[in-house]
Structure 1
Amino acid sequence: MKLQHYLGGLEGLGPVSIETRVFVEPWETRIFAIHTAMMALSAQLPLPQTPSAFNTIWTWADLRKGAESLNPFDYFKYRYYEKWLGGISGYFIDHGYITAEELDALTEEYYQHPSKPLPSAGAAAIDDRVVEYLVEGDSPARDVLVTAEFSVGDMVRIENVPSVEHTRLPGFLRNRTGIVETVYPGAYTYLCDTGPDGIGPAMTVYCVRFDPNDLWPGNAEPNFSLYADLYARYVASADVSVSVEAA
């Protein structure tokens, strides 16, 4: 199953946006700020305390899952930060911070009175925590010992994992072969367990080099390679048979 957010590399998907601005509309900066504040308030780090009522966990994974849970037709219709807004709104509703009816009422109220002041309780303390969070960072590296199955130069085949909710594996790499370029030292995990997709406990991450002619036969430019950083769950021996799902 290829989820709609990982259809890159396929032909006939329509025009490609070449927009280079990070933020196109002013409201997009606020959505980014809300997301960043939610991550900072969730972080299990020694950061400044705040009076915020936000008491659940929010990560990049939650943002991505929320956006990707949109109806596929809506996913392709909305712009980048519109998808973020949908995912964030759904999260607050699902976790009981606000009801859909209350959100609709507040939205209509601000439409009618756009100059109405926004809530600001605890904003300065939250700003301090966000700044320190951005300075400290939040690494996916874990202090555990793992043994890498493959070495630099090994030919590997990319698995076709059953992606139900979220995946870190691009669709166009599934069942393709490549060469291990780098075995990153240490072990890494994702921000959440991806279920059947297979990223849970910390594992090796490989940089795998692909020949574009193998990915897009007869439709690739010459003299370049494509590199992908892939969790060990996605990487198998090249002599492993193609999965039943892809057959």
Structure 2
Amino acid sequence: MNGIHDMGGMHGFGVVPIEDKEPVFHEPWEGRVFGLAFAVNRQGLLNPEGMRLFLESLEPSFYIGATYYEKWLAALQAGLVFKGIIAKNEFVNRLESVISDPDMSLDRSEVGEITQKISDAINTHISPVRDVAVEPNFSPGDMVKVKNINPRGHTRLPRYVRGKKGVIYRYYGVHDFDDSRSQGLGDCPQPLYNVMFSASELWGSNTSTRDTLHIDMWESYIEREQE
């Protein structure tokens, strides 16, 4: 979808702050949200692509003003409510209880099996390459053009590159298609490439001729460009 999250190439948002020796989590609750996201994923309740769809559906003014993990928490809540796993009033009631009694005792008991799944997910590398019989239609060096499409759901294709011309730089193999997985339409594996664009192609002539931008793209995003 074309939403506020797709900010590439937009102006007016100020300098990106760079924090010296930035911690992994600024507050303990951020770590808990991170763990919650893994728990939800490992139990098959909401996959990462589905969570991105709910992130991108957040109200624009909230999205701009929220911190990274505030967005994660809001997306998790929206996704779990949408799927009927938790009722919205459960969140509201618990929040009201905590606000009225900040020192209330909360049940922090750990479920051993879920905890182990989270640990396994964090510490185990699983190759994203799918061993399926799908042949790529492009090779490194091929000239391609990005399709000018506007999907209504989640997509990994940024707006500023649509309709632009580039060169296949690398072929990664066959990967699950995130756009499809986010909507529960299956894995739909297809070839994945790294496409190189010149800065002038994306941003105009007032750029360095030495600068390039590399973007990973599934095959359905691109078409062959005649040299």
State the TM-score, normalizing by the size of structure 1: 0.80
> Any conservation in 2 of the 1:208–1:228 contact (CA below 8 Å)?
yes
Work out whether 1:203 is the aligned partner of 2:202. no
Q: Is the 8 A contact 1:5 1:68 kept in 2?
A: yes
Q: Name the CA shift for 1:119/1:137 in 2 (closer, same or farther; >3 Å).
A: farther
The code of the aligned residue for 1:95 comes to K
Corresponding residue number in structure 2 for 1:2:
2
User: Partners of 2:198 and 2:161 in 1: how far apart?
Assistant: 11
Distance of aligned partners of 1:140 and 1:93 in 2 relative to their CA distance in 1, 3 Å threshold: same
Q: Which residue of 2 aligns with 1:231?
A: 218
TM-superposition CA deviations, 1:31-64 (whole Å, max 9, x none): 111101112222xxxxxxxxxxxxxx31111211
What is the RMSD of the two structures over their aligned residues, measured on CA atoms? 2.5
Tell whether the 8 Å contact from 1:172 to 1:215 is kept in structure 2 after alignment.
yes
Letter paired with 2:147? E
Q: Distance in 2 between matches of 1:199 and 1:18?
A: 38
Q: Provide structure 2 residue ranges, at least 5 long, that are not aligned to the other structure.
A: none
Q: CA offset at residue 222 of structure 1?
A: 4.2
> What SS does the aligned partner of 1:102 have?
helix
SS in 1 for 2:215: strand
Cα deviation digits, residues 158-184 of structure 1 (max 9, x gap): 112222121101111111101111122
1:49 counterpart residue number: none
Instruction: Show the counterpart of 2:200.
Output: 213
Q: In the superposition, relative to structure 1, how do residues 199 and 39 fare at CA in structure 2: closer, same or farther (>3 Å)?
A: closer
Report the CA distance between 1:209 and its aligned residue. Answer: 0.9
Structure 1's unaligned 5+ residue stretches are: 43-56, 241-247
**Cα distance in 2 for residues equivalent to 1:210 and 1:119:** 52
In the TM superposition, what is the alpha-carbon distance from 1:199 to its structure 2 partner? 9.2
With over 3 angstroms needed to count, the CA separation of the structure-2 counterparts of 1:162 and 1:23, relative to structure 1, is: same
- Identify if the C-alpha distance between structure 1 residues 141 and 117 changes in structure 2 by more than 3 Å, giving closer, same or farther: farther
Question: What pairs up with 1:136-175 in 2 under 5 angstroms?
Answer: 136-175=124-163
Say whether residues 1:70 and 2:58 are aligned partners: yes
Q: Residue 25 of structure 2 aligns with which residue? A: 23
In structure 2, C-alpha distance between the alignment counterparts of 1:113 and 1:29, rounded to whole Å: 23
Instruction: Provide the C-alpha distance between the structure 2 equivalents of 1:104 and 1:133, rounded to a whole number of angstroms.
Output: 30
